[in-house]
Amino acid sequence: MEDTLIIGTVALDTIETPFGRVERALGGSATYASFAASFFSKPALVSVIGHDFPKEYIKLLKGRGISLEGVKIEDKTFHWEGFYEYDMNEAKTRKTELNSLENFKVKVPERHKSIKYIFLANIDPEQQHETLRQMRKPELVVLDTMNFWISSKKDQLIEVIKKADILLLNDGEARQLFGTSSLVKAANGALKLGPNAVIIKKGEHGALMFTKNKHFSAPGYPLENIKDPTGCGDSFGGAFIGYLAKTKDLSEQNFRKAVVYGSVVASHNAEEFGPDRLKKLSMSDIEKRYKEFQDIREF
C-alpha cells in the first residue's frame, strides 16, 4: 500500500554540463523524488505527462513500485532545458516549456487521499496548495520549490509554506526568498511562517537543518566524479521523506538521519547523467555511503 504522496513535475530534460549533453532525458522533480523515495517507501505520484512521453520511462517508474494512478496524460510533456558551468552548484535555465503543466488540474486518486506523508516537490505553488486541500489528514508535509516560482508566484508560495512542516530550499533560493545574504536570517524568516524545520541544501557542500532551538549540519560527500547534478535536490527530498515514512519517527534526531539519507542518495545521483545512477543504485550502496558519512563527521 502506498505510504508517500509525491506531487511535482515529470519532465523531459535537455541538460548540458562540462561532461556531456543529453536530450529529452527522463527528468522532473517528482520523478527524481519518487525514484529516491522508492528505496525506503512506496510512493504514489501525482503529476501530468504528455502523449509524447516515452513508454520505456513509464515502465522504469512502475518497475520501482511507484504508483502512477495519479498521473494524467494530456497534450505535451513539460520540457526543461538547462546547463551547468564548472561550478555545478547552480543550474542555469535556458528554456522552461510548461506545456501540459500549464492547465494541469490536480486530482489525487481517492485511495491516495489518506496518505500521511506528503512531499510537495517543485511545481507551481497553486498546484501544491490544491494537493494539500485534497488530502485528508497529513502527518508530515515537506515542501520544495525553486527560483522560477519564487520569482513568478511568491505570494502563493508563502501561503503553502505556512501549511508545510518542513521547508527545503537551496542556499540561493533561501537568500532570494527572504532577501538576505544570511542563511541563518533566511531560516529564521522561514520558521516564523510556520514550518518546524527548514533545510537549506548547499549542493556539494552539504545541508543545514534549522529547527526552533537547534541546528544540524550534514557534510557534503567528497565526490570525485560529478557528471550531472540535475535532480539532486529532488532526490534529497524524496529520500528524506521516504526514510521518515518508513521509520514513522518525527523526532529531530530522526530528521537528522533522514537528512543524511537524503544527502547519500543525492550524492549518488550526481555521478551520472539524468537518473542513470539511481537506476542502478542498491540499498547496500546507500547503507555503505551512510556509514562513510558517519565517519566523515567524527572527531
Binding site for ligand AMP (CB under 6 A): 9, 11, 13, 27-29, 32, 80, 91, 96, 122-123, 146, 148, 230-234
Phi, psi of 278 (to 5 degrees): -65, -30
Least distance in Å: CB of 248 to ligand AMP? 26
Q: How far is the CB of 235 from ligand AMP (least distance, A)?
A: 7
CB of 9 or CB of 17, closer to ligand AMP: 9
* Helical (H) or strand (E) element with 209: strand 207-211
Q: How many CA atoms lie within 13 A of 233 on its CB side?
A: 29
Q: Closest separation between CB of residue 123 and ligand AMP, Å?
A: 5
Sign of the CA dihedral running 254, 173, 160, 232: negative
Nearer to ligand AMP (CB atom), residue 231 or residue 262: 231
d(CA 220, CA 264): 9
Given the C-alpha cell 530522526, which residue does it identify? 254
Question: Measured from the CB of residue 151, what is the shortest distance to ligand AMP in angstroms?
Answer: 10
Q: Which amino acid, residue 152?
A: S
- Say if CB 249 and CB 261 are below 8 A apart: no
Question: Cβ of residue 200: shortest distance to ligand AMP, in angstroms?
Answer: 14
Per this entry, what is the length of the chain? 299
Question: Would you say 194 and 161 are in contact if contact means Cβ atoms under 8 Å apart?
Answer: yes
- Residue 21 or 248 with smaller CB distance to ligand AMP: 21
Residue of minimal CB distance from ligand AMP? Answer: 27
Give the nearest distance from C-beta 212 to ligand AMP in angstroms. 27
Q: What does the alpha-carbon distance between residue 245 and residue 59 come to, in Å, rounded to a whole number?
A: 24
Rounded to a whole number of angstroms, the minimum distance from the CB of residue 120 to ligand AMP is 11
Question: What is the DSSP-derived secondary structure letter of residue 99?
Answer: G
Question: Nearer to ligand AMP by C-beta: 148 or 216?
Answer: 148
State the nearest-atom distance from the C-beta of 139 to ligand AMP, in Å: 24
Q: Rounded to an integer, what distance in angstroms lies between the CA atom of residue 219 and that of residue 84?
A: 22
Q: Would you say 207 or 211 has its CB closer to ligand AMP?
A: 207
Considering only CA atoms, which of 153, 135, 10, 14 is closest in space to residue 72? 10
Closer Cβ to ligand AMP, 206 or 233, answer by number: 233
Gap between the terminal Cα atoms of the chain: 42
Kind of pairing, strands 215-218 and 207-211? antiparallel
Measure the CA–CA gap between 259 and 79, rounded to whole angstroms. 29
- The residue (of 80 and 293) whose beta carbon lies closer to ligand AMP is 80
Measured from the CB atom, is 42 or 201 closer to ligand AMP? 201
Asked whether the CA dihedral 130, 131, 137, 142 is positive or negative, the reply is negative
